[in-house]
Structure 1
């Protein structure tokens, strides 16, 4: 008798959306999307460098600050010549026009970063914020740094 009543109560709870709903399996999450081209594992070190040295001025979304710090998202400056971009990190930059807008902020030279850190952060920037571009290698950074010493 008790079992029959219990069965009826559990059935009513199920119809009413009671505690038995908590017994459902959690929804299966879709696998994380892989970044096209550059593996996420390659971007992680660059993201770390970006967070430590670049985020304050260029912001978490890479859009910079109007009139002060230029955007890193979808600009020829970032997506174009890797040597020019590497030189910006090594030598700093003040006063630049990007996309018809002047930016007056001063970017200090980051020459104290290792070649690997510079390659990593540039690869990260060139493949974040909607950007899709080739990686910057440690060898390319070394060559630019050596060219600056001449």
Structure 2
């Protein structure tokens, strides 16, 4: 009986020793989140200053009743196609997050895909906003689908 207990003990020790020799599994990497490049942010800021600042203000706060804020609104932080279409088509007569704004936003479809991507990436990552960047390829696809 002592032999059986000893044999079981040795077997268990051998199993735990062999289990300890196995390398620990590598932790799964967290999914990569897209981060806006500093070049895109800098280009976007310049485009914003030239084209958007007079209506949406330097702080992105807009003008009550006239031009909507860009701070944490569903348009800015929401689905990318909607905000890209606003830049491409302009916007008039729509409430933003339940608030009416009376100024019409003109179309900025003369901007290149890269310029639109950069300015929207800037807006989506400024004024306290944190949202995924928008690429020129995404703008190009939305522009093409928008023409149909």
* TM-score under structure 1 length normalisation: 0.73
- Which has more radius of gyration? 2
What is the DSSP-based 3-state SS (H/G/I as helix, E as strand, rest coil) of the residue aligned with 1:103? coil
Between the aligned partners of 1:96 and 1:51, the Cα distance in structure 2 is 24
Regions of 4+ moved over 4 Å? none
Between the aligned partners of 2:141 and 2:98, the Cα distance in structure 1 is 31
Between the aligned partners of 1:99 and 1:92, the Cα distance in structure 2 is 17
Question: Which residue number in structure 1 is paired with residue 99 of structure 2?
Answer: 101
Between the aligned partners of 1:94 and 1:54, the Cα distance in structure 2 is 16
Between the aligned partners of 1:88 and 1:39, the Cα distance in structure 2 is 23
| CA gap 1:69/1:50 in 2 versus in 1, 3 angstroms | same
Question: Which residue number in structure 1 is paired with residue 114 of structure 2?
Answer: 116
Summarize deviations over 1:13-50 as a string: whole Å, max 9, x none: xxxxxxxxxxxxxxxxxxxxxxxx43433300000000
Alignment coverage as a number of residue pairs: 114
What is the DSSP-based 3-state SS (H/G/I as helix, E as strand, rest coil) of the residue aligned with 1:89? helix
* TM-score under structure 2 length normalisation: 0.74
Between the aligned partners of 1:42 and 1:148, the Cα distance in structure 2 is 24
Structure 1 unmatched ranges of 5 or more: 1-36
**Alpha-carbon deviation of 1:96?**
2.1
Structure 2 unmatched ranges of 5 or more: 1-34
What is the DSSP-based 3-state SS (H/G/I as helix, E as strand, rest coil) of the residue aligned with 1:70? coil
Question: Which residue number in structure 2 is paired with residue 134 of structure 1?
Answer: 132
What is the DSSP-based 3-state SS (H/G/I as helix, E as strand, rest coil) of the residue aligned with 1:123? helix
Question: Which residue number in structure 2 is paired with residue 149 of structure 1?
Answer: 147
Between the aligned partners of 1:61 and 1:54, the Cα distance in structure 2 is 11
**Alpha-carbon deviation of 1:98?**
1.9
Question: Which residue number in structure 2 is paired with residue 80 of structure 1?
Answer: 78
Between the aligned partners of 2:111 and 2:104, the Cα distance in structure 1 is 18
**Alpha-carbon deviation of 1:100?**
2.3
